[in-house]
Structure 1
């Protein structure tokens, strides 16, 4: 067994980290009503540098949430509305001829910022979707043979509408696998919806009332370093790998009527995402080590977009969440 080179955060590190996390969470809650799971997922994405796929009907504050998080960390924010005629160069950038210098100059696209919101990503063509792969995975873009690194922190938040499928291009498995987490947004409660109206009347969402930065980008980078050093016991690493293994070999752990509905399980990226997300979840509650509950807390977000179910699952009314719940119950918790 190899010896880890990570230095577990001390009490001072954790105190500072908790102060920063709480400041971002308060900033988020001041503008976004409810959506606690969304807040947690966005914070985990920021802490770990993992991209997030959001699924929900229009009007659930996805854009507002992304903008608030970006403004609270003094970061740049760009929203890209995906359409069928959107070109890769519209996102990544292109070269433009400058007549004054008689040469081509590179104009970077809107993806070159700290937080990028790809609204309704499944409305863009497969070619445009694939153009984001290099930016998301390699943290760089290539324009006319020249590479341009992304700023740090860099977070891609993509949304898709589950109820309007006309004129859309479903994301490929390779594309969805590059999102560390997938969060499914629900409608607010009647009380939360009323609170939105009260805040509108109070001017909370006025354009002249932007979110004040609560931390700097340097603070955010330091927070990411602390998160990466959260202790993950080797026993829990094996627990994670067993959960992912169970999705690939469901017949070994699940009841036959469920196992036969799984066509493909999660990729090795799921194991990596589990480790990162669990560290982020531990840091959010002020712990410098991961517990099994942290792993189970992020399981649905890590796995729901990585499981490929057979057609029979739809007719039987079995969702990915059902399979994940069965896996969590079947694999022994250390």
Structure 2
């Protein structure tokens, strides 16, 4: 299927429409951002199922649900290491948000919309690269006016410390939204580090020649998006991490998962504490990024990677 597939085309058109609504940013636009993002993800997953030779119909008149599509793709992923279905937990949150909007009156707040847009953009970026050999920033230009894409890139660009300072203030009013945005920021930094590693020409060449290296890279890329593994990564690159840092990173993971799935309420004080911690550890994350740029292959020589214990 791929680029010329009607499902693929519709998915990218919906993502483009979501961007247009996102750029406008009005209350009603935010609702359409969520609806279009969820539908775009659903269609791209079904298109990929067709690519893999799977039927997307559960009966002659009805296609499978997105949950069934995810289940089928996860089964395929476990059978074939060349198939990558990233961040399904975040897609599940998006679908939950879509379903909630469809069954009740109301509109998502701005922070929720930013969070869902960032997650979906990162999902599509990785999904298209891994499974279609395409770059989302290039593909979307065929579906979106140039000025809209430029506005989108400016709007979603996070300005590091200033942005985190804003989120600390926002936490006084919307603690959950501010915290989710801070999580998204930290994850975007981890995503950049991961991209530096997997896009390194030397590693690509090694992975093509050696399946063991390919498995190491895939194992590593899964770990790189998890907060609690940052201390081990930093230790490999000789960046000092305190016991308090380790404790807080584990706390971040727990709170992020609980809040994202609505299992836990968070107070203003807790949100501000965690955002301030993210701000405090940001210089170390930046240092890690720079060291990875200088030697992206170092991490693969780690015994922890080889033993799958990182």
Length-normalised TM-score, structure 2: 0.29
The structure with the largest strand share of the pair is 1
The structure with the largest helix share of the pair is 2
Which of 1 and 2 has greater Rg?
A: 1
Larger RCO, structures 1/2 (Cα 8 Å, 6+ apart): 1
